[in-house]
Amino acid sequence: MNSELHVLIIGAGLGGLTLAQGLRKQGISFQIFERDASAEARGQGYAVGLHDPEKLFGGSLPDEVFSSVRSSCHLLPLQLPSCLAMFFPDGRAGYVTDSPETPCLRAHRLRLRQALARDLDIQWGKRAQRIEEGEDKVTVWFEDGTHAEGTILVGADGTFSAVRPHVLQKPNSEVLEVSTSSTLTMGECRLDRANMESQLQLAYSCYVAYGPDFILFSGLNRVSDDGSYGDYYWMMVESREVGDDHWVKTGTAEERLRKSKERIQALNPKFRVTVEKTEVEGLKKVVAWYDALIEDIPPVNRVILIGDAAHPMTPARGEGANHAIKDAVGLSKLLAENKDQPIDILRQKLDELQRSLVSEGNQAILLARQVMAKARQRERVEKPMVWGHEVKIVDEAVPLPLELK
């Protein structure tokens, strides 16, 4: 281990874990802290699409960790490639499928996080409360009364980052914006083998379908170990702005589910399955999406932000996790290349990287906003992109082949 450089990582999500593994491979000293009490303290979210994993991780992970990442596909034990479909209002369909030409991996988020956490000593229940940057160190104090000291600190703690307010010197409430394009209803259901197969023939991983005044996203989260059922989730996004008194925001779970099942009748029956199979217990709380364009970030001293802490973005284009991982890979490589440099030079390198990460993230945020605006206005998108690849458009959808054991 390098005896001089010691990195404090706040947040054990996908970005923080990727950074920790990159530092571990490079022999750089680090500690990683997570505010949750344990890995099972809260839901891990849904499956995540990774753009070309080989390129994304760029050789930054230990070999055994990257092998585990490749095994986190949400379709296992089914031997099917990750695949997203889009069903447009004009009857066309579009697909992106994992292949040598368009490599991608839709990973089960918990499996992916477990893979990236391999052999790491994560300190759980550590909610950052205060950060102080000095001449020779940075110190973070946690709510439990403990503290840690390091050379630099990395805020990898997501949209509602506890580190960001220290960097920007303003609370998250003054930074984050509620996306006006993201009023939605959301639910989960479990489909038996027959119903799962009907959905797999539409898209192995997930699909988007357009209703008259809403957009439906339906996705497979995971398949049971014996392949007998699949856990699905869906989001119905409003195609227009709604007031605070709209049923999406004010209705009970029963009312929102009933309304969703009524509205889904406007779609072809094959697209209705996940909503129609949802019970009231499977309806999730009303969700709002947040993003933020951080334009004026102060020069880096000893604290740098990555992932949604640096550029919080909505799931509209499914790019948040990819940017977090890309940020972490870039930071781990920079630290490896400059670990013996004086702190002034390291600060300069970190500041250049920070501004690059924020700029690239802001571009992705603007694209996500544009995508949602076009979708709401039902504008035709000539060359849509998914998972880092251009969607292959066909004039008419056809059932995908299934060869399941």
* Tokens, residue 202: 């539409």
37-92: per-residue pLDDT in tens?
887 777 768 899 998 999 999 899 999 999 999 899 999 999 999 999 999 888 88
Computed over every residue of the chain, the mean pLDDT equals 90
Residues 253 and 249: their CA atoms lie apart, in Å, by: 10
- Does pLDDT of 301 surpass 70? yes
Query: Whats the size of the chain, residue-wise?
Result: 405
Q: Please say whether the beta carbons of 53 and 69 come within 8 A.
A: yes
* CB-side neighbour CA atoms (13 Å) of 204: 25
- Does pLDDT of 198 surpass 90? yes
pLDDT at 3: 46
* One-character DSSP codes across 84-114: EEEE-TTS-EEEEE-SSSS-EEEE-HHHHHH
Q: Which of 177, 157, 161 shows the shortest CA–CA distance to 366?
A: 177
pLDDT at 277: 97
345-363: per-residue pLDDT in tens?
999 999 999 999 999 999 9
pLDDT at 239: 62
pLDDT at 379: 58
Answer with the residue of higher pLDDT: 388 or 405. 388
Q: Which residues of 214-233 are buried (b: 16+ CB within 10 A; e: fewer)?
A: bbbbbbbbbbeeeeeebbbb
Question: Measured in Å, how far apart are the chain's first and last C-alpha atoms?
Answer: 48
Q: Please say whether the beta carbons of 276 and 125 come within 8 A.
A: no
3-29: per-residue pLDDT in tens?
489 999 999 999 999 999 999 999 999
Q: How far does Cα 195 stand from its chain's mean position?
A: 27
Identify the bridge partners of residue 187 per DSSP, sorted by sequence position.
234, 283
Helix (H, G, I), strand (E, B) or coil at 150: strand
